[in-house]
Amino acid sequence: MSDEEPYWLGRASLEQQRLIKQHYVWTKTIGYLLHPSIASNLPENARIADIGTGTGIWLTDMAKASPPTHHFDGYDISDAQFLPADSLPSNVSLSLGDFKKPFPAALHGTYDVVNIRLIIISMGRGVWESTLRNVLTLLKPGGAIQWTEGNFLVARGFRGAAPASTGGHWLSRAQAQMNNTLVNRFGFNFPDFTQLYADAGLERVEEDVLSTDRLPEQRPDFTEIGSGAVLGALKNLAGAGGDGCWDEAKVEECREKARVDAESGAYLRWDIHVTVGFLAAPMSVT
Ligand SMILES: C[S@@+](CC[C@H](N)C(=O)[O-])C[C@H]1O[C@@H](n2cnc3c(N)ncnc32)[C@H](O)[C@@H]1O
């Protein structure tokens, strides 16, 4: 994706609410905030960074579940969605930071954990590698990274359990339209995270892949969050125009038909990948 492209999900307060709801829905299906292989081995004074933090909700929840001696810093290119500073736990701070540019030298080697979640819309071929290299500069030797993404390239609608459920055709159509635009216009792709981490020299790599329909009761929530993001982005793209974009009338027609699909019990499904890895630990001198 080029630096000049706007951020197609937008940052209106509706998107802030979607991000917060998304956090709780994703966390429930994933089953943890921080992968057990990282969480089980944190030092007492752990420093944890969240890159592309959005609202800061992941850090805020982490802080509530962690010892007060841990410290949490969130970075985002925009502060438009940050939770109000006075609502944050005292050991959480949110600041501006661009993961595509080198981080200030003072931050290099200062974190035990770097978390990234759902920045795929700003990625593209080659950008995964450079972003990973950039965020790894923040880690202490032996530090860990957790990167969580949805593979929306495999997202599509499915028939639900209700006898009257549609096949989710319009949920699939909206997603396919968005995916075609992302692939053709932005060079969107989904990386092989295990290989990406191995190429960056990370150790003890684990890729935890979950299906969004793992908990059947969450299917409507994933459908609302996923189709909300897709149709919101298609509407923003319609406003900007360009080859192959739907106009606003087409987006609204699809939104209504996708709503009928979802109401009938059909649902949108994709894969979530949580990939963790560790920098080499310093050699212990005996
Ligand atoms: C879909 S939101 C996810 C927010 C958060 N990680 C979460 O899971 O709730 C993606 C975030 O990435 C941020 N972002 C996009 N490009 C960025 C960049 N180059 N540097 C830092 N943040 C960026 C956006 O501003 C947005 O807040």
The residue with greater pLDDT, 181 or 147, is 147
The residue with greater pLDDT, 177 or 286, is 177
| Pocket flag, ligand 1, residue 146 (CB < 6 Å) | no
Mean pLDDT across the stretch 82-87?
A: 92
Residue 126: the pLDDT is: 85
Q: Which of 25, 110, 27 is nearest to 75 (CA)?
A: 110
For the stretch 16-66, pLDDT in tens is 888 899 999 999 999 999 999 999 999 999 999 999 999 999 999 999 999
Least confident range from 179-183, 202-206, 230-234: namely 179-183
Edge-first strand order for the sheet with 267-278 is: 92-96, 71-76, 47-51, 111-117, 139-158, 267-278, 203-211
Q: Is the pLDDT of residue 86 over 60?
A: yes
Cα–chain-centroid distance for residue 233? 15
Least confident range from 191-200, 207-216, 227-236: namely 227-236
Check: CB of residue 87 under 8 Å from CB of residue 41. no
Question: β-strands 111-117, 47-51: how paired?
Answer: parallel
| Pocket flag, ligand 1, residue 222 (CB < 6 Å) | no
CA of 116 from ligand 1 middle (Å) equals: 9
The residue with greater pLDDT, 187 or 118, is 118
Residue 8: the pLDDT is: 53
Residue 124: the pLDDT is: 79
Look over the chain and give the mean of its residue pLDDT values, rounded to a whole number: 93
Mean pLDDT across the stretch 220-245?
A: 89
Residue 285: what are its φ and ψ, rounded to 5°? -95, 125
CA-nearest residue for atom 17, ligand 1, is 77
The residue with greater pLDDT, 233 or 140, is 140
CB atoms within 10 A of CB 249: 9
The size of the chain, in residues, is 286
| Pocket flag, ligand 1, residue 210 (CB < 6 Å) | no
- As a whole number of angstroms, the distance between CA 192 and CA 205 comes to 12
CA of 222 from ligand 1 middle (Å) equals: 19
Residue 3: the pLDDT is: 47
Mean pLDDT across the stretch 216-224?
A: 96
| Residue 222, CB-side half-sphere exposure with 13 Å CA sphere | 29
CA-nearest residue for atom 8, ligand 1, is 117
Residue 18: the pLDDT is: 83
Least confident range from 68-82, 120-134, 156-170, 266-280: namely 120-134
Cα radius of gyration (the chain): 19
| Pocket flag, ligand 1, residue 133 (CB < 6 Å) | no
DSSP state of 101: S
Residue 7: the pLDDT is: 52
Q: Which of 153, 134, 141, 132 is nearest to 276 (CA)?
A: 132
Q: Is the pLDDT of residue 286 over 80?
A: no
Q: In which band, very low, low, confident or very high, does the pLDDT at 81 lie, cut at 50, 70 and 90?
A: very high
Residue 285: the pLDDT is: 62
Domains and CATH numbers, the chain: 13-278 (3.40.50.150)
Check: CB of residue 59 under 8 Å from CB of residue 74. yes
| Pocket flag, ligand 1, residue 124 (CB < 6 Å) | no
Q: Which of 189, 147, 149 is nearest to 277 (CA)?
A: 147
Check: CB of residue 238 under 8 Å from CB of residue 247. yes
| Pocket flag, ligand 1, residue 23 (CB < 6 Å) | yes
Q: Is the pLDDT of residue 73 over 80?
A: yes
Q: Is the pLDDT of residue 160 over 60?
A: yes
Residue 5: the pLDDT is: 53
For the stretch 3-25, pLDDT in tens is 455 555 555 577 788 889 999 99
Mean pLDDT across the stretch 104-113?
A: 98
Task: Tell which one of 26, 62, 95, 122 to mutate to probe ligand 1, the residue whose CB is within 8 A of the most ligand atoms.
Answer: 122
Task: Tell which one of 78, 135, 152, 230 to mutate to probe ligand 1, the residue whose CB is within 8 A of the most ligand atoms.
Answer: 78
Q: What percent of the chain shows pLDDT beyond 90?
A: 82
